[in-house]
Amino acid sequence: MLQGKPNRRETLDILLKLLRREDAGRIVSGALLSEVLGISRTAVWKRVKQLRGRGYEIESTPSAGYRFISAPDKLLPEEIRDGLKTRTFGRVISYLEQTDSTNRVAGELARQGADHGTLVAADAQTHGKGRLGRSWISPPGCGLYLSLILRPPIHPSVIPLITLVAAVSLCESLNLQTALGVQVKWPNDLWIAGKKVGGILTEMSADMDQVRHVILGIGINVNLSLSRLPSDLRDRTTSLSRENGRPLNRVALLRGLLDSLEHDYDLFCEKGFKPFRRRWAGASMTFGRSVRVQMPQGVIRGVAHEIDERGGLRIETENGRMEAVLCGDVAVVMDDNIAGDEKRKQRRP
Ligand code: BTN
C-alpha cells in the first residue's frame, strides 16, 4: 500500500512502473495492483483501459492479470518522466498530439504563470516557427518539437547567449547518445555531415531590465524520412535515423537532452558564458573555415575564428580586420562556391 493517496497522474505513473517491472513477459495480478495502488480492481481495469487508449499495448488475461507488451512511440508525459533525472526541466509537461507551434503554446502558458522548466511537446506542428521568419516543417511521429519555459534570473541583454548554450548542450548530448558527429553552426543550428538536423528558436518576454520569461524552442529531425519534406529542402536536410541507419527512440533521446540542458542552463546562470566558449570551439563546424555572413546591414566574408564573450561570431575579414557578428545567417564557403543561405529564404535551414 502506498503512503498517502496518489493523484490520478501519479496513479498512472505508478501503474506503468509496476507493469513495466514485469516486462520480461510476466503477468501482474489485478489484486496486487489494486493493493499497491490502493484502488479497486475495477479502478485498475479502468486505468489500464486509459493507458491502452494512449497507445500502450497491455494484455489482460481474465483471472490472471495484466502483461505489459509495449509503449507507444509518442512523447507522452508518463513516458518522459519515467527515468527522468532533472530537477525542474520537464517536471511539468504539456503534451499535444498536434498544435500550431509549441513556442506559441509555451508563451501562452508562461503568461498564465507556468513554472520554470515546464515543457511543451508536440507530436506534430502545423505552423512550426523557425528563425528569421522561416517555418519549421513538423510532420507527425518523427521529430522532437519542444519548448521549455525558462525564468532566468539574468539581464535581458544576455538572453541571446541561452541559444548558444543550448546549441552546444544539445550537440554534445546527441553525440553522447548517438555518436553521429553532430556539430553546431552559429548561432542556433545542429548539423551532421554538412546537412541541417535541428535548430533552436529562442523567444523572450521582458521589459527594459527584467526578463519575464524565455521560451527555448527546439526542433530535431529524429526519424524523419526526407520524402516528407518539400523537395527544395531535401538536399540540405538530414535526420538522426537517416545518418544512423535505423530509427531512434525519441523519448529516451529527449530525456538525455533535458538532463544536459538543465545542467548547462544552471552552469550558465552561475558562471556565465565563459565555460561554453571552449566547448563551442570543439563543436563548431565553422571555426577555421571561410564563411559568408548575411546580416541585416549587408554581407561579410572571411574566416570564422571563435565566439566572443557576448556570443558574437568573430570573423577575420578579407582585409585582415576582426569583426564580431551578433546577428546573421552564416554559410560555409566551399571551393569558391558559396552555399548561400540567401538563395533559399523561405523555410530551413
Ligand atoms: C531554426 O532553425 O530556424 C529554428 C527552428 C526551431 C523549431 C522549433 S520546433 C519546436 C519549437 N516550436 C516552434 O514553433 N519552433 C520551435
Spatial neighbors of 45 by CB under 8 A, at least 6 apart, are 30, 60
CA dihedral sign of residues 155, 159, 160, 162 = positive
Mean pLDDT, range 39-65, rounded to an integer:
92
pLDDT, tens digit, for every residue of 140-192? 999 999 999 999 999 999 999 999 999 999 999 999 999 999 999 999 999 99
Mean pLDDT, range 319-330, rounded to an integer:
91
Atom of ligand 1 nearest to the CA of 104: 14
Pocket perturbation via mutation, ligand 1, pick of 98, 103, 135 by most ligand atoms within 8 A of CB? 103
CA of 202 from ligand 1 middle (Å) equals 8
Give the other-Cβ count within 10 Å of 187's Cβ.
Answer: 23
Q: Looking at the predicted structure, is the pLDDT value of residue 340 above 70?
A: no
Give the other-Cβ count within 10 Å of 115's Cβ.
Answer: 12
Q: Which cell is 178 given? A: 548517438
CA of 192 from ligand 1 middle (Å) equals 18
pLDDT band at 13 (very low <50, low <70, confident <90, very high): confident
Number of H helices, E strands in the chain: 9, 16
Q: Give the single-character DSSP code of 156.
A: G
pLDDT band at 23 (very low <50, low <70, confident <90, very high): low
CA of 206 from ligand 1 middle (Å) equals 20
| Ligand 1 within 6 A of CB of 122 | no
| Ligand 1 within 6 A of CB of 66 | no
Q: Give the single-character DSSP code of 65.
A: E
Distance CA 190, CA 183 (A): 6
pLDDT band at 335 (very low <50, low <70, confident <90, very high): very low
Pocket perturbation via mutation, ligand 1, pick of 145, 186, 190, 257 by most ligand atoms within 8 A of CB? 145
| Ligand 1 within 6 A of CB of 219 | yes
| Ligand 1 within 6 A of CB of 198 | no
pLDDT, tens digit, for every residue of 244-301? 999 999 999 999 999 999 999 999 999 999 999 999 999 999 999 999 999 888 899 9
Mean pLDDT, range 325-329, rounded to an integer:
89
| Ligand 1 within 6 A of CB of 199 | yes
Take atom 16 of ligand 1 and give the residue whose Cα is closest. 217
Spatial neighbors of 114 by CB under 8 A, at least 6 apart, are 92, 106, 149
DSSP secondary structure string for all residues of 166-230: HHHHHHHHHHHHH-S-EEEETTTEEEETTEEEEEEEEEEEEETTEEEEEEEEEEEESS--GGGS-
Spatial neighbors of 281 by CB under 8 A, at least 6 apart, are 287, 306, 307
Question: Among 70, 47, 44, which Cα is nearest to 57's?
Answer: 70
Residue 239 host element (H or E): none
Higher pLDDT among residues 277 and 346, named by residue: 277
Q: Looking at the predicted structure, is the pLDDT value of residue 88 above 90?
A: yes
**pTM, rounded to two decimals:** 0.88
pLDDT attached to residue 123: 97
Pocket perturbation via mutation, ligand 1, pick of 218, 237, 344 by most ligand atoms within 8 A of CB? 218
Q: Which cell is 20 given? A: 513495466
Q: Looking at the predicted structure, is the pLDDT value of residue 344 above 60?
A: no
What is the residue type of 34? S
The number of C-alpha atoms within 13 Å of 40 and in the hemisphere containing its C-beta is 3
pLDDT attached to residue 262: 98
pLDDT, tens digit, for every residue of 197-240? 999 999 999 999 999 999 999 999 999 999 999 999 999 999 99
| Ligand 1 within 6 A of CB of 347 | no
Pocket perturbation via mutation, ligand 1, pick of 201, 233, 257, 346 by most ligand atoms within 8 A of CB? 201
Mean pLDDT, range 55-80, rounded to an integer:
91
Spatial neighbors of 132 by CB under 8 A, at least 6 apart, are 329
Higher pLDDT among residues 13 and 222, named by residue: 222
Atom of ligand 1 nearest to the CA of 143: 9
Q: Looking at the predicted structure, is the pLDDT value of residue 345 above 60?
A: no
pLDDT attached to residue 217: 98
Q: Looking at the predicted structure, is the pLDDT value of residue 46 above 90?
A: yes
Does residue 6 have a cis peptide bond before it, meaning omega lies within 30 degrees of 0?
A: no
Query: Distance of CA 215 to CAs 11, 41, 104, 158, Å?
Result: 30, 43, 9, 14
| Ligand 1 within 6 A of CB of 143 | no
